[in-house]
Amino acid sequence: MRDRTKLWNLAAILAVGVGLMIYGALELRKSCLLAAEGRPAAGRVVKKSIEHGAKQRKSHYLHVQYSTEAGQTLVQRAGVSAARFERTRRGETVPLRYLPNSPDVFALGTTIKPNYFDLLPSGVAFLVAGVYYLTNRKHQSAPQQASTLSAEIGRG
């Protein structure tokens, strides 16, 4: 029973790692597309908001209105640092880049760099899985391994 629980724990950690890797890869793909194909635009800050999360954590957002080359006007929300939130005023113009075939995908700034940072949590999850595996595996001496192996061969 204990070995089965350990196996399920390891599988859960690996599943989280795979999920985080997929998320990171999608974010990396989006940032690469914005860097390569993104169209520049000027956005106007129409609203600022703060959302309170767990453990007194605050998330700061700028709501930006911009128009695409096709004439479509959008208002989108972008997460920003507390410092940028404080220095940016409502009504201010901010540079951004958006994808022409999916204009709701955008990022603030004049140049967008590929975002590898979102892949980091998956690496941490895989590292935790490796440490968990190594610390929870059965340790056998060489003679014990040989007798276990010969017993398994004898059964086969």
Q: 21-55: per-residue pLDDT in tens?
A: 999 999 999 999 999 999 999 999 999 999 998 88
- Residue 16: exposed, middle, or buried by beta-carbon count in 10 A (0-12, 13-18, 19+)? middle
Cα 40 from Cα 49, distance rounded (Å)? 24
Three-state SS for 115? coil
Q: Which CATH code is given to the segment(s) 39-111?
A: 2.40.50.140
Which pLDDT band, with edges at 50, 70 and 90, does 142 fall under?
Answer: low
Query: How far, CA to CA in Å, does 48 sit from each of 79, 82, 107?
Result: 10, 11, 16
What does the pLDDT look like over 52-63, one tens digit per residue? Answer: 988 888 999 999
Q: What DSSP designation does 117 have?
A: G
Sequence ranges of the domains in the chain: 1-37+112-156, 39-111
Average pLDDT over residues 107-111: 94
Give the tens place of pLDDT for each residue, 53-89: 888 889 999 999 999 999 999 999 999 999 999 999 9
